[in-house]
Amino acid sequence: MSKIPVIEIFGPTIQGEGMVIGQKTMFVRTSGCDYSCDWCDSAFTWDGSGKHLVQQMDAEEIWEELKAVGGDRFSFVTISGGNPALLKNLNHLIQLLKTNHIKIGLETQGSKWQDWFLEIDDLTLSPKPPSSKMTTDFEILDDIIAQLQQTNNQSFSLKIVVFNEQDFDYAKAIHKRYPGVPFYLQVGNEDIANSDNEKLLSELIGRYEWLIDQVVGDSELNDVKVLPQLHTYVWGNKRGV
C-alpha cells in the first residue's frame, strides 16, 4: 500500500483551535507544505529541520501506531500538517479510520482539492492572510468551497488567523465572499519562539482582546466566532502536547 510521510503521532490531547475547539483527539501530522508562511508554527514539517522525524508509513501502520499511543482512549483523529491536502493517498487512512468508527478533523489552507475532503467530518479551510506573505489562489478556493457546498456537506468552516489590521481586512473580504460558511477568526501567535509561558500568555490574551474589540465593533462581521489557540494558553509553544 502507498506510503504517507508522517512527522508525528501523539495524543490523546485537546484540539486547541477552530471549529472543534476542545475536542479530545489524537493527532497525525504529515510532512510537506506548498506554502512557506512567514510565521508558520509548523515549519519543521517542510523546512528540512524535521527531516529526521519523517517516517513513511502506510495506513495500517498509522492506525497501529495510533492504537499503540492512544489505546482505547480516543474516537477522534485530527490530521494536520504541513498541508495534508498534498497527499492524494490519504484516502486509505481516512477509509480505515471510518471503518473503525473514528471521526476525523483536518485542516488545510485551501490551495488544493482532494476528493477525500468529502469524507472529513470537520474540515477547516484556513487561507492565509497578507502577513503570511502568501497569495491566495481564489480560483482554487472558490472551486473547493463550491464543491463542498454542492454536496451539502455542512461540516466545514473557514478560519482566518489575524495578526494585524491588513489581515483583519482580508478576513472581512473572505467572510463577504463566502457568506454562508461558518467563519472563525483566530488570534495569531507572533512569538512562536518564546518559552517564557507567562509572558507569552499575557501577550496572547492581550492580542485576543484586541481581536475581539475589532470584531465587536464591526457590523460586517456578525455571525462569526473569535477564538484563541487554547493549547498555547496551557502549554505555551511546546510541541507534541
**Which of 6, 26, 37, 86 touches ligand SF4 (CB under 6 A)?**
37
Is 36 a binding residue for ligand SF4 by CB under 6 A? The answer is: yes
Q: Is 111 annotated as a binding residue?
A: no
CA 151, 102, 125, 93 dihedral sign is negative
Is 162 a binding residue for ligand SF4 by CB under 6 A? The answer is: no
Q: Is 157 annotated as a binding residue?
A: no
Q: What string of DSSP letters covers 58-112?
A: -HHHHHHHHHHHHTTS-SEEEEESS-GGG-TTHHHHHHHHHHTT-EEEEEE-SSS
What's the closest the beta carbon of residue 57 comes to ligand SF4, in angstroms? 19
b/e code 51-70 from CB counts within 10 Å (16+ = b): eeebeebbbebbbebbeeeb
Is 236 a binding residue for a copy of itself by CB under 8 A? The answer is: no
Q: Is 186 annotated as a binding residue?
A: no
Q: In what helix (H) or strand (E) does residue 122 lie, and over which residues does it extend?
A: strand 122-125
Which one, 16 or 82, has the nearer CB to ligand SF4?
82
Which one, 48 or 217, has the nearer CB to a copy of itself?
217
Q: What string of DSSP letters covers 130-163?
A: GGGT----HHHHHHHHHHHHHTT---EEEEEEE-
Which one, 82 or 188, has the nearer CB to a copy of itself?
188
Say if CB 160 and CB 37 are below 8 A apart: no
Q: Is 145 annotated as a binding residue?
A: no
Is 82 a binding residue for ligand SF4 by CB under 6 A? The answer is: yes
- Which residues in 64-93 contact a copy of itself (CB under 8 A)? 71-76
Q: Is 29 annotated as a binding residue?
A: yes
Residues in the chain: 241
Is 63 a binding residue for a copy of itself by CB under 8 A? The answer is: no
232/207 Cα distance (integer angstroms): 13
- Residues of this chain that interact with ligand SF4 (CB under 6 A) are 33, 35-37, 40, 42, 81-83, 109, 128
- Residues of this chain that interact with a copy of itself (CB under 8 A) are 11-14, 20-24, 71-76, 103, 184, 198, 201-202, 205, 208-209, 212, 215-219, 221-228, 230, 233-234
